[in-house]
Amino acid sequence: MERLKVNLCGIELDNPIIPASGTFGFGYEFAELYDINVLGTFSFKGTTKDPRFGNPTPRIAECPMGMINAVGLQNPGVEKVISEELPKLGKCFNKKVMANVSGFAIDDYAYTCEKLDKMEQVGWLEVNVSCPNVHGGGMSFGTSPDAAAEVTKAVKKVTTKPCIIKLSPNVTDIVSIAKACEEAGADGISLINTLLGMRIDLKTRKPVIANKMGGFSGSAIFPVAVRMVYQVAHAVKIPVVGMGGVSSAEDVIEMMLAGATAVEVGAANLINPYACRDIINDLPRVMDKYNINTLEEIIGGVK
């Protein structure tokens, strides 16, 4: 449907709906439930240079209006993603996919991005700078404008495809970080990643997950996400991909009015595996309700 189409970093999407990394695997699991080609695209599971087993269990816990997770970037490593996961995906998804990349050193990011950039299936690289800088005292790359810019420059040197830098909300000034990424050559910004949260089991008097703290996601964080998307979208000239607590077509419209060109759906996929399909199907109804002709026309509509 023409009215749902958007352009993300020079690539046209049939609609702006993108399942978020870590909530949609490598796609083929969901392809057993419905035709995932109805999606705009999706961001596959966060991929690192080397295989990662992830954090000890329990590492996911429900809480009111959301969930806490500390999975720890479990993935088979970039070599196996290329040799095993992408061929399986190719059998059920005929669009460009978004490759989500994580790392613990700048060289890790560059290595993984360079490998995935060569894959025909990959349309965009979503570079998650929320990971700890193991050579810089353990602080996340995404908490410092300079560190985020360094990662951006490193991956842009070795890639030809659009690089979208995924930012952490656990900062004081997200705009300065987004602008630093833009100045370093980023083609887009995606936000927000999870907030840092914690819950305690009253019976055991211990944290509900083994890692003590984890990423808090779900509908409770939506107002924070809308605020940060609005701030960043009005401070940079590159496209913004909004995410954080999105669970309905109305949420998508709100996120786009705030300035998002495309919208990722995360935790909602874990509650309802058909969430993205249902949102896409419902978008025309909501657009009619609010007299919206095309989605392109509302991007950044709130000044």
- Residues 40, 19: Cα–Cα separation, whole Å: 9
Q: Which of 113, 131, 181, 276 is catalytic?
A: 131
**What is the reported pLDDT for 97?**
98
For the entire predicted model, the pTM comes to 0.96
Report domain 2-58+74-198+217-298's class.
alpha beta
Cβ 100 vs Cβ 43: under 8 Å: yes
Residues in the chain with pLDDT values less than 70: 133-139
**What is the reported pLDDT for 277?**
98
Residue 281 CA, distance from chain mean position: 21
- Give pairs for 35-39: CB < 8 Å, separation 24+: 36/92, 36/93, 37/93, 37/94, 37/95, 38/14, 38/277, 38/280, 39/15, 39/95, 39/276, 39/277, 39/280
- Listing DSSP states for 79-94 in one string gives HHIIIIIHHHHHTT--
CA-based torsion, 15, 19, 20, 26: positive or negative: negative
**Residue holding tokens 């939506």?**
222
**What is the reported pLDDT for 43?**
98
- Residues 66, 80: Cα–Cα separation, whole Å: 32
- Residues 174, 61: Cα–Cα separation, whole Å: 27
Q: Which of 12, 6, 32, 57 is nearest to 255 (CA)?
A: 6
**What is the reported pLDDT for 135?**
67
- Residues 111, 158: Cα–Cα separation, whole Å: 8
Cβ 109 vs Cβ 154: under 8 Å: yes
195-197 vs 188-191, strand pairing mode: unpaired
**What is the reported pLDDT for 1?**
85
Cβ 230 vs Cβ 269: under 8 Å: no
Q: For the beta carbon of residue 163, count every other beta carbon within 10 angstroms.
A: 25
Domain boundaries, the chain: 2-58+74-198+217-298
Q: Is 131 a catalytic residue?
A: yes
Cβ 164 vs Cβ 126: under 8 Å: yes
Cβ 17 vs Cβ 252: under 8 Å: yes
Q: Which of 128, 124, 215, 125 is nearest to 166 (CA)?
A: 128
**What is the reported pLDDT for 70?**
92
Residue 43, beta-bridge partner list? 98
- Sequence-distant (≥ 6) Cβ neighbours of residue 93 within 8 angstroms: 27, 28, 31, 36, 37, 42
Q: How many CA atoms lie within 13 A of 71 on its CB side?
A: 14
What confidence tens digit (pLDDT) does each residue in 261-273 have? 999 999 999 999 9
